[in-house]
Amino acid sequence: MLTVSVKWQKELFPKVEIDTSQPPYVFKCQLHDLTGVPPERQKIMVKGGLLKDDANWATLGVKEGQKLMMMGTADEIVKTPEKGPVFMEDLPEEEQMVAVGHTAGLFNLGNTCYMNSTVQCLHSVPELKSALVSYPSQKSSDLDHTSHMLTAATRELFNELDKSVKPVAPMQFWMVLRKKYPQFGQLHNGVYMQQDAEECWTQLLYTLSQSLRSPSFRYSENPDTIKALFGIELVSRVHCQESGEESSETESVYSLKCHISQEVNHLHEGLKHGLKSELEKASPCLGRSAIYLKESRINALPRYLTVQFVRFFWKRESNQKAKILRKVDYPLQLDVYDFCSDDLCKKLEAPRQILRDEEGKKAGLKAKEKTSGSKDNDVKMTDVERPSNESGESSKPTSKEGGPTDKKSHLTGIYDLVAVLTHKGRSADSGHYVAWVKQESGKWIEFDDDNPVPQREEDITKLSGGGDWHMAYICMYKARTVPM
């Protein structure tokens, strides 16, 4: 770590730290925060010429206490006349964000697109942001320090994204993520390596699940916020055909797996394959190992349903994660009723009938009469603005006046696509990750690191694979609910 001073125009910035283990682009991001000059406009004089983004600090000869000269023009908001049109650039950043229709992008700090795309997808969940806002700054005694720091860094990064239209450098978050999970700090020839976005997603959710269910933290009526938002309860039948043994087990997961084979052309088929598996374990009856068939059904649904396309597998010949490029179509609207247990199907029947009636009314059709007595058999599901727990019970929604209403929102088993994390390339540990996120306005934004670009909805489902273009790796769906 070196400390230098930087002169820019008439200003002098003393004691600017340089982490020589990171590329110069990260240093430029620091100067962007200090001066407002974007990295691509910065001209920094060093030995041998201008400082390049990917230069090696060891060959530049920068010394402790050295003064560096920087040239470049900062982004400025042009002042408008006292009377005249108000341009978007003249508005405060919060108002600019509303006008633009999306939040800020994230600078790539050196192969950190896997992290950026994960953050942008999870940042689109308002209930998660609300939980993080309520997270205390003081660490609880039952939580380890790095988990607390990562949770606090996530909260601060989400806050920065919400308040800015200019790209944000997620330096603090990245440093704490590497400290909590050292595998994300792997170096190759002095450069941080690309990582698997699904691993980043899983590890971040695991940390948040620990922090947001700490005894010293309670969000609304849900003691386990992450499980309530993303947790899927599976009930499984484990059967050995050879011995006739049969048992059942229950587990909670944060995503469904879409297994890809020659028979899989659509997400629905891949999910069906993913809920069946074979495992080898000791058989008490046979006194040796035997093959068991495990068949799982969904027994409780979350507010946000995450689906992972199992596109990567370990290839021994090349000693890396190889990629399955096969095209697998996925819908904008996903119905998981066929994958649910009998008990859950019964609980979903009444809400699904109400949803069909509402859609029928919109189509000009006469709704069916409500069946009596169905309300008593229904599971109480989540409020539209609050996460559900695994049993589906929720707090009462509020009316426009702010008071509680007599109706609660119930899950239907039908979900709408709200985010897609894609990968472009042939290996999970190389290539490029991008987030495609649906905004509250209904518009889709492609977050390619620091460059958010509007996209058409009809183009989102084209990210299904079949070539070297971006293809869906993780899809996040939001539950469609009805009041009852």
Beta strand 232-239 pairing with 288-300: antiparallel
Q: CB neighbours of 44 closer than 8 A, spacing ≥ 6?
A: 6, 28, 31, 50, 51, 68, 69, 70
- Residue 429 burial class via C-beta count within 10 angstroms: exposed 0-12, middle 13-18, buried 19 and up: middle
What are the C-alpha distances in Å from 195 to residues 76, 184, 198, 472?
Answer: 36, 7, 9, 16
CA-based R_g, the chain, Å = 26
In the chain, count H helices and then E strands.
12, 21
What does the alpha-carbon distance between residue 329 and residue 462 come to, in Å, rounded to a whole number? 8
Among this protein's residues, is 432 annotated catalytic?
Answer: yes
Residue of 239, 266, 273, 432 marked catalytic: 432
- In terms of Cα–Cα distance, which of 184, 157, 186, 188 is closest to 170? 157
Q: Which two tokens stand for residue 256?
A: 């469904």
Among this protein's residues, is 285 annotated catalytic?
Answer: no
What does the alpha-carbon distance between residue 300 and residue 227 come to, in Å, rounded to a whole number? 11
Three-class SS of residue 86? coil
Contact predicate 87/78, CB 8 Å: yes
CA 428 to chain centroid, in Å, comes to 17
- DSSP code at position 263: T
CA 210 to chain centroid, in Å, comes to 17
What does the alpha-carbon distance between residue 367 and residue 359 come to, in Å, rounded to a whole number? 9
Residue in the block written with tokens 């409780």: 300
Residue of 32, 102, 113, 470 marked catalytic: 113
Q: Which residues are catalytic?
A: 113, 432
